[in-house]
Amino acid sequence: NRDIGIIRLQLAVYFDDEEAMEQQLERLDPYPVFDPPFPRQQWRMTYMGLAALILSMKTEKRGVKRRESCTLPGFGKKQYDDIVTKWADTSLKFFEKLSSFGSPNAQPIYACLKALDKPSQSAFDEAIETVGTFGLLNLGALMNERCGLWILEQQQKSQGPVVDGGANLQQANLATEYLKVAVWCYHDWGAMNKVRQLESRYNFLTGAMREKPPSALSSMRRQAAMLGVSRSAPTSTMSG
């Protein structure tokens, strides 16, 4: 059932379950791109795109094979990276077109997809600001989380020592702040299992809830204050 598959894919995106994202992308891939009714199509396209782009971020470049072929019966030798590329590109074009028509439902999704497609701190900040304008706590949480994880990945690639006052320490602190806001937003959204997952994965988040402002709005204001910059301004040398 495609609707059950979309729900499973949605959960996989929020819980960062790579294997489940792969499985559901494979299962949902055979359904037509244009899949009425329209609300279902937009829902499906949202999470197909988010999942595909998150998986793309886990490789050095788009098209690098994560495994030799899809594993589900009936898919034969169809390449996994073809599915990821197809849905990343399809969803970006879908929401770009809707956004160009001024669709308020498409604009926050498109901002998130663009940030995942070409990640930079400024791109994530733009997505966070956009989804915040529309009051979408779930996407605000997701974008803060993905930004924090991306900064940590960039820090690991640099392989420099984390020393007091050093650039790596500054980036580690910056990633921590994004992940803290992700925890706060997930909490305000009601996703308590996700809060517990992040706290268990990252010891430095175990006290994050004690620092939480009393509301989602103040959480976002606190984030801007912590970063100390305009949300639209590039905030580090990693910004694109």
Percent of the chain exceeding pLDDT 70 equals 75
Its pTM surpasses 0.85 = no
Evaluate if residue 24 carries a pLDDT over 90.
Answer: yes
**Mean local confidence (pLDDT), 168-175:** 84
26, 75 in Cβ contact below 8 A? yes
Report the 10 Å Cβ neighbour count for 131.
25
Highest mean pLDDT among 50-59, 105-114, 199-208 belongs to 105-114
**Mean local confidence (pLDDT), 54-80:** 56
- What does pLDDT average to over the chain? 82
Q: What is the pLDDT of residue 57?
A: 83
Q: What is the pLDDT of residue 232?
A: 39
**Mean local confidence (pLDDT), 206-224:** 66
**Which burial class, exposed, middle or buried, applies to 237 when counting CB atoms under 10 A from its CB (0-12, 13-18, 19+)?**
exposed
Q: What is the pLDDT of residue 125?
A: 95
Q: Of all residues in the chain, what percent are helix, strand and coil, respectively (each to 5)?
A: 70, 0, 30
Q: What is the pLDDT of residue 211?
A: 79
d(CA 236, CA 240): 9
Evaluate if residue 238 carries a pLDDT over 80.
Answer: no
**Mean local confidence (pLDDT), 76-83:** 66
